[in-house]
Amino acid sequence: MTVQTTRRPSSPDRNGSRGPQRNNRPPIVATPPKPRKRKSPLWTKLTIILGALLMIASGAGVVGTKWLVSNATNSVTEGDLLGGTKKNSAEGGGDIKGPVDILLMGVDARKRWAVDDLRSDTIMALHIPASHDQAYLVSIPRDTEMQVPAFPKAKYAGGVAKATEVFFHGAQNGGGWAGGAQLMAQTIKANTGMTFDGAAIIDFNGFKSVIDALNGVHMCVDQRVKSHHMQLVNGKPMYLAEARKTAGTHKEIWYEKGCRDMEGWEALDFARQRYGLKNGDYDRQKHQRQLIKAMAKKAASSGVLSNPLKVNNLIKAAGKAFVLDTGGVPVADFIFGLKGVAANDMVLLRTNNGTFAGNGNGRETITPKSMEMYKAVKQDKLAEFILANPDVVSTEK
């Protein structure tokens, strides 16, 4: 069946004109500007649960027909996020019969920030082997120092930058979200060798609705941490910017050790925390991967995928939270072509052994073992790599 995909109208925040520019932004390198600092903490993007990924991760239980999924995916915004970096035919690209690799990026697209003032604080690679019976999730540390190629579309001359800043450079001068994603894909290919069949950009502001569609998730807190983003005001969770303007009883939010069911706002807020954790951003990455797996397992085990109405609502909720590039494969075909991947088989992998591998200037390098892991992704040999290096497997519940 041919899927007719309608695109939601692009909003000014994604592809419109640039908003007010901030002053005093010293450049990272001599030519390009440095990403601007925000006054409030950057929101972590839990980049995946594109409804498509939920379907990929647990699609074996989907009921109904491809028409149902096709109808629901009409709400998905599609875009050219990979540009000329898509896998070529020699690399197994062009269809989904072989191994599939998806680049996942998260941005904080709050309305007061212009389209060219965004960074991707969460960067992950989803690898599905040619057997289509497992899914591997690999993080790329946000502070990794990378050689960034020139990108004429955004008038970027190339240089050295953190991975989290690459999206910003590609979005400049009219590059927009697509430009940010394309430069990210080019940079990852140049620095790790990994190439992709598809990509997704997740907007945190639309992400909560996906968890709400699942009626929350089960999460395990491994270390006590305070929320640096939210407070309870008169018993209601509020972001700090809003809480400071609201009168009433204010209470800090602490996440205590132990396992329990969390509402959408709790699970997202917990997985966003970076400060106060033993391993900082690496623990945050771990909690993000934990949330991803929890969502996929919830979708597979709670009856969501056996209820056509819930499937429809889930994909529609996700369609409002992300922009997707399936490499030219219709979204429904992409989902059903990978429906053998089971949520319980999602293997979460650690980069740099889960600790900061500093290079002396506040940035990171990728360790030789992690570079071998990226090479195994490229060659579809992750299973063999894990057998030889079992310590790369993360132990999130």
Q: 221 or 87, which is more confident?
A: 221
Q: Which of 1, 42, 51 is CA-nearest to residue 323?
A: 51
Measured in degrees and rounded to the nearest 5, phi and psi for residue 172 equal -70, 160
The mean pLDDT value for 55-72 works out to: 47
* pLDDT score at 75: 59
> pLDDT per residue over 282-330, tens digit each?
788 788 778 877 887 787 666 666 666 676 677 677 666 677 787 777 7
Do 134 and 346 touch, CB atoms closer than 8 A? yes
Q: 246 or 132, which is more confident?
A: 246
**pLDDT higher than threshold 70 for residue 340:** no
Instruction: Find the range with the poorest average confidence among 20-24, 175-179, 206-210.
Output: 20-24
CA-to-CA distance for 24 and 115, rounded, in angstroms?
19
The mean pLDDT value for 269-273 works out to: 88
The mean pLDDT value for 140-147 works out to: 91
> pLDDT per residue over 363-383, tens digit each?
889 999 999 999 999 999 999
CA-to-CA distance for 374 and 381, rounded, in angstroms?
10
**pLDDT higher than threshold 80 for residue 63:** no
**pLDDT higher than threshold 50 for residue 224:** yes
The mean pLDDT value for 94-104 works out to: 85
Strand runs (DSSP E) across the chain, as ranges? 77-78, 100-107, 122-128, 135-139, 145-148, 159-162, 198-203, 217-221, 225-233, 236-239, 250-255, 258-262, 322-325, 346-349
**pLDDT higher than threshold 60 for residue 234:** yes
Q: What global pTM score does this model have?
A: 0.71
Burial class (CB in 10 A: 0-12, 13-18, 19+), 128: buried
* pLDDT score at 182: 96
Percent of the chain with pLDDT over 90: 32
Output the average pLDDT for the chain.
76
Q: 55 or 42, which is more confident?
A: 55
Sorted by sequence, the CB contacts under 8 Å of residue 37 that are 6+ apart come out as: none
First to last CA, the chain: 38
Domains of the chain in sequence order: 12-214+262-268+284-392 (3.40.630.190)
Strand partners, 216: none
Top-confidence range, 75-84, 95-104, 327-336: 95-104
Q: Is 90 left (phi over 0), alpha (psi -120 to 50) or beta?
A: alpha
User: What is the rounded radius of gyration, in angstroms, for the C-alpha atoms of the chain?
Assistant: 20
> pLDDT per residue over 5-50, tens digit each?
333 333 333 343 343 344 444 444 444 454 444 332 222 222 233 4
One-letter amino acid at 4 equals: Q
* pLDDT score at 190: 96
* pLDDT score at 55: 42
Instruction: Find the range with the poorest average confidence among 330-339, 349-358, 374-383.
Output: 330-339
The mean pLDDT value for 106-128 works out to: 66
